């Protein structure tokens, strides 16, 4: 059975003291797609109990999101999440970065995370994320020291979407701009908050919360060699 590492932020707040944390449906929806077919471990910069964004808990009350919060195995994994420094790349076939504002606060500039993402990439493993999750990839480099996103098609939460949910002031950079600054080829859905998944070789990304199930399906297809 293939194995996947879900990476969560450890940042509960932004620099403006706004709620950060990880966004519930961006973990729950891919998780339930992958869980029947893969072993899934959780990790974050600080390890156990990565903070969930409470607004996402209140907003997303669909069956999969509620089930995720109440599932005994998920609770155990969150309570015992590994520190990124403890992760062994060779134990996994894919890494998946969960969104929420938090990744722009901690994962984007965490040297341990940058090294980990680089190692996954250079080991030809699946590297994936959703919404602000790809912020965890912006400092990762290939074996030549060049950004792994350079020349790659990728999506994330768009500037327009950040404006619509009024978080521009709360993040240190706009991820759409940051992706372009490291050479990424940014793509987005035709309409804000529409489903969008981009697959470019081993790189798989989803744009926003609505894309959670679809990006999980794309990662699963890659793991099973059916995409």
Question: In this structure, what token pair is assigned to residue 220?
Answer: 């699963």
In the 8-state DSSP scheme, what is residue 125?
Answer: -
pLDDT per residue as tens digits for the range 79-125: 999 999 999 999 999 999 999 999 999 999 999 999 999 999 999 99
For residue 225, the model assigns a pLDDT of 87
| Fold exhibited by the domain 3-224 | Rossmann fold (3.40.50)
Distances (CA, A) of 187 to 30, 117, 130, 191: 20, 21, 13, 12
Q: Helices 72-79 and 63-70: crossing angle, nearest 10°?
A: 60
Measured distance CA(54)–CA(84) in Å, rounded: 23
DSSP line for 18-78: -B-SB-HHHHHHHHHHHTTTSEEEEEETT-SSPPBPHHHHHH--SHHHHHHHH-HHHHHHH
Q: Which residues of the chain have pLDDT under 50?
A: none
- The structure's pTM equals 0.98
Query: Is residue 4 a contact partner of residue 96, using CB atoms and an 8 Å limit?
Result: yes
Measured distance CA(196)–CA(99) in Å, rounded: 14
In the 8-state DSSP scheme, what is residue 219?
Answer: H
Query: Is residue 65 a contact partner of residue 30, using CB atoms and an 8 Å limit?
Result: no
| Residue ranges of domains in the chain | 3-224
**How far does CA 84 lie from the centroid of its chain?**
14
């Amino acid at each position: 059975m293939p194995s996947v590492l879900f990476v969560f932020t450890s940042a509960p707040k932004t620099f403006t003291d706004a709620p950060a944390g990880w966004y519930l449906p961006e973990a729950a929806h891919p998780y339930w797609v992958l869980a029947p077919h893969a072993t899934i471990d959780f990790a974050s910069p600080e390890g156990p109990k990565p903070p969930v964004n409470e607004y996402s808990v209140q907003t997303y009350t669909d069956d999969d999101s509620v089930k995720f919060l109440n599932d005994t195995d998920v609770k155990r994994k969150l309570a015992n999440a590994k520190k990124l420094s403890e992760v062994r790349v060779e134990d996994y076939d894919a890494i998946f970065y969960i969104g929420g504002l938090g990744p722009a606060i901690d994962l984007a500039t965490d040297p341990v995370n940058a090294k980990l993402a680089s190692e996954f990439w250079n080991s030809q493993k699946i590297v994936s994320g959703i919404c602000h999750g790809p912020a965890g990839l912006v400092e990762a480099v290939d074996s030549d020291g060049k950004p792994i996103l350079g020349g790659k098609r990728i999506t994330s939460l768009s500037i327009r979407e950040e404006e619509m949910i009024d978080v521009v002031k709360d993040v240190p950079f706009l991820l759409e701009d940051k992706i372009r600054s490291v050479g990424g080829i940014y793509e987005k859905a035709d309409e804000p908050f529409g489903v969008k998944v981009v697959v470019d070789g081993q790189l798989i990304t989803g744009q926003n919360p609505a894309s959670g199930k679809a990006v999980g399906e794309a990662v699963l297809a890659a793991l099973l060699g059916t995409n």
